[in-house]
A = this chain, B = another copy of it.
Amino acid sequence: MGKALKSAGYFIDEVYSRTHKSAEKLAKELDSKPVVQLDHIAPNADLYLISVPDNAIGNILSEINVPGRLTVHTSGSLSMNVLQKASKNYGVLYPLQTFSKDKSLDFSNIPMCIEANSAANEKILMRIAGDISQNVKLLNSAQRKTAHVAAVFACNYANFLFGIAEEILREHNLPFELLNPLISETARKVMENQPHTVQTGPAVREDIETMEEHLEMLNDFPEYQKLYSLLAEALIKNHKKKGKE
């Protein structure tokens, strides 16, 4: 997000990190100054952007001292109110996307989920988010947490299923690339349709024979066997429910 802000014309004064190395690396990319002690950061910035793992924010907030300055976190699952500790002006800028360390993403389509503790702060965050993305949404903490759980299923767990597929193929010396067109099409389909209306496969057909054969083939992967069964079961149940709606 630092890079996206910089590209949009924002000046990033300082970059804090616990280690010199990572503070320097990011500061260099952002034409900024590295800081490794929180009590050394400049006290008069317009915005303090805290983007750390959820379980690290507690320490940051107890060390940072910027009373009154707009302080923002970028987490999907943390309540906005955790920031009360740091400042009386606070909010959230949550980019609903999956990030890789070594790959910069185009932010223009990423949903920026905004929340702020006052209308004035909301306006500021809306403007900042709008400068880096065309897809800005106002979400309160409960909605943001809901979006985050949904994202765990649609991204983290979907990726885990891709990994299971890869492992099964590798075990039989088949390349994972074989599934590329299938994965693309699966993702494309749900952009245009409700997922349950385009559901295919043996479970939705209740093709017991094929599912039993699949379970047998998964004998070497007891964990995936269990997942296969539970997913099939939930899918069948869900499909019956949808059919009745």
Q: Which residues of A contact B (CB under 8 A)?
A: 53-55, 77, 96-100, 105, 109-111, 135, 137, 139, 142-143, 145-166, 168-169, 171-172, 174, 176, 178-187, 189-191, 193-196, 198-205, 207, 209-210, 213-214, 217-218, 223-224, 226-228, 230-231, 234-235, 237-238
Contact = CB atoms under 8 A, between A and B. Distances in A.
A189 B100 contact: yes
Given A156-B199, A160-B234, A174-B146, A183 B187 contact: yes
B162 A201 contact: no
B153 A164 contact: yes
A213 B54 CA distance: 12
A115 B214 CA distance: 20
Contacts of A231: 157, 160, 227
A156 B203 contact: yes
A134 to B, nearest CB: 11
Across chains A and B, which 9 residue pairs bring their CB atoms closest together, nearest first? Answer: A156-B201, A163-B195, A187-B187, A150-B165, A154-B165, A162-B195, A146-B172, A153-B165, A155-B186
